[in-house]
Amino acid sequence: MKKTLLLILLLGTLAFLAAQTQFTPINPVSEDDEVEIVDDEIMLISAEDEDVVGRVGYLGVFVDDLNFPKAQALKYTKNHGVLVVKVVEDSPAAAAKLQADDIIMMMNEQVVQNKERFIEICDATEVGDKMMLKIWRAGIEQNVEIILSEKIEGPEEDDRKITVSFKPNLATGYGGGSWLPMWATVDLTDVNKLLGNLYFDTMREKGVLMQGGGGKGHIGKGFFLGIQAIGYDDKGKQNKPPVPADSTVAKIPDLTANYSLSTFEFTIDKRFAVKPWLVLSIGTGLGRAEHKLELYNDQPGGDWPDQNPPIYNLGYHKATLKKEFLTIHPRFETLFPILSWFGMRLELGYNYGFSPYKGWKQEEYNGDSHHITGSPLTEFGAFTIGAGPWFGF
C-alpha cells in the first residue's frame, strides 16, 4: 500500500513539473517590456534590445500563400511564390511600384516557396541591403531591385531614404519550339544541269522554301541549346526524252526523279532581352546538309526469276546520287513575345557547307557508295531568312 501511495505521489510530482515547464514562459513579460505582434507570433523587445529592431530591412508588403484558383486566374504556371495582398504606402515596395496581385517568385536568387519562407528571407536582411525580386505580373516575369529601409514609427517616418531601381521584364525566356519555314538561296546549277541533260524540267535557281521543325532550351545566363531539321522536296518529276531520228542511237529512258535538300544541325544561341516585347539573339548551328537525287527507270510488267536459267527482269531500277556537306550556320534572331507561351520570330543567317570529298557519290542497293567519275564539285552556301510562330519563350 505504501509503495502504491509513493508511486502516485511521484507521478503527481512529475506531472506538476511538466505542467510548469510547458506553460511558464522562459522570459516573462514585465512592465518594462514592449510587445510587438507580427503574423501571430509574439516578439519580446526589451529596452536593452531596441537596437535590434532597426537592423531588419523593411520592404513594406503584406503577402499570403498562393492557392491554385488564384494562380490560375493570374495565368501563373509555377508551383512556388507568395501573393502580394497589400502594399504599404511610402515604403520601398510602394516606391518600386509593387501592387496587389503581384506574385513574388524569388528574393535575392532564393526561391520563395511559401509565406513562411518569405518571412525567413526578410528576417535575414538588414537595413541598407539590396533586395532583388523576381515577380509575376500580367502573365510575364519582371525584375525589381530595392534598397531596404528601416521601419520607423512616428514623426521620423518621413525621413526614410528609399532607393529603388525598377527593371520590367528583362527575362530571356525558357525555350520552346515550332514549325520552321525558311527561304534559302541554294545554288542548284549542277543539279539543274543534270536534270536538263536528262530532259527534266529544271527547278528555280533563286532559292527554295525549306520547312521543318526544331526547338531549344535555356541552359543558363541567356544561353540556349537546341536542334533543328529543315528540308525541301521536289518529287515525281517526269522527263520527256525525244525519240532519236537515227534508230542506231539509243533512246534516253523514261525516268522519274525525286530531288531533296535536307539540313540537320545542333544550335547554340545567346539571347539579350531589350524590351518586354523584344528579345534579340545571336548564335550558330553546326551540322550537315545533303543534296539527294533519285532517278527511277520504271518499266511496266516484269518476269519473276524462276526460269532456268533465271531471268532477272523486275522492270525497276533506281540510282541514288548524293552530295554531302558539313555545315556552319551563323544567324541573328529576333523574338517578339506576345504571350508567356507564344510569340513570333524572325531569323537571318548564312549557311555554309564544306564537303569532305570531291564530286558526287552514287549509293547502291546494299548501302555501299562510290565516287561518280566526272561529277561536279558542287559548293554549298545559302543566305537564309526564316519567319513564323514560336511556341514557348
Kindly indicate the confidence band of residue 43, based on its pLDDT and cuts at 50, 70 and 90.
very low
Kindly indicate the confidence band of residue 93, based on its pLDDT and cuts at 50, 70 and 90.
confident
Delimit the domains of the chain by residue range: 34-167, 175-392
The answer to whether residues 269 and 223 touch, using CB atoms and an 8 Å cutoff, is yes
pLDDT number for residue 318: 78
**Looking at per-residue confidence, does 171 or 312 come out higher?**
171
pLDDT number for residue 23: 35
Residues 159, 316: Cα–Cα separation, whole Å:
93
pLDDT number for residue 159: 44
The answer to whether residues 48 and 34 touch, using CB atoms and an 8 Å cutoff, is no
pLDDT number for residue 383: 96
Kindly indicate the confidence band of residue 251, based on its pLDDT and cuts at 50, 70 and 90.
confident
Burial class, 1, CB count within 10 angstroms (exposed 0-12 / middle 13-18 / buried 19+): exposed
Least confident of 14-28, 99-113, 176-190: 14-28
The candidate with the shortest Cα–Cα distance to 271, out of 228, 225, 230, 227, is: 225
Region 159-169: mean pLDDT is 45
- Cell 564530286 locates to 359
pLDDT number for residue 275: 84
pLDDT number for residue 301: 54
135 has pLDDT over 50 = yes
Least confident of 49-53, 64-68, 229-233, 327-331: 49-53
pLDDT number for residue 29: 36
Kindly indicate the confidence band of residue 266, based on its pLDDT and cuts at 50, 70 and 90.
very high
Q: What is the sign of the dihedral through the CA atoms of 301, 302, 304 and 307? A: positive
Q: And the C-alpha cell for 66?
A: 498562393
pLDDT number for residue 15: 52
**Looking at per-residue confidence, does 325 or 67 come out higher?**
325
Residues 331, 184: Cα–Cα separation, whole Å:
13
pTM value surpassing 0.75: no
14 has pLDDT over 80 = no
pLDDT number for residue 163: 45
Least confident of 85-89, 123-127, 313-317: 313-317
Which runs of consecutive H residues, i.e. helices, occur in the chain?
2-23, 50-53, 68-73, 92-95, 115-123, 189-197
**DSSP symbols for 224-235:** EEEEEEEEEEEE
16 has pLDDT over 70 = no
Kindly indicate the confidence band of residue 161, based on its pLDDT and cuts at 50, 70 and 90.
very low
106 has pLDDT over 70 = yes
Kindly indicate the confidence band of residue 39, based on its pLDDT and cuts at 50, 70 and 90.
very low
pLDDT number for residue 336: 93
Average pLDDT, the chain: 79
Q: Tens digit of pLDDT for each residue in 279-327?
A: 999 999 999 999 999 988 766 555 555 555 554 444 457 788 999 999 9
Residues 38, 53: Cα–Cα separation, whole Å:
13
CB atoms within 10 A of CB 28: 8
Class of domain 175-392: mainly beta
* Radius of gyration in angstroms for the set of CA atoms belonging to the chain, rounded to a whole number: 37
**CATH fold of 34-167:** Pdz3 Domain (2.30.42)
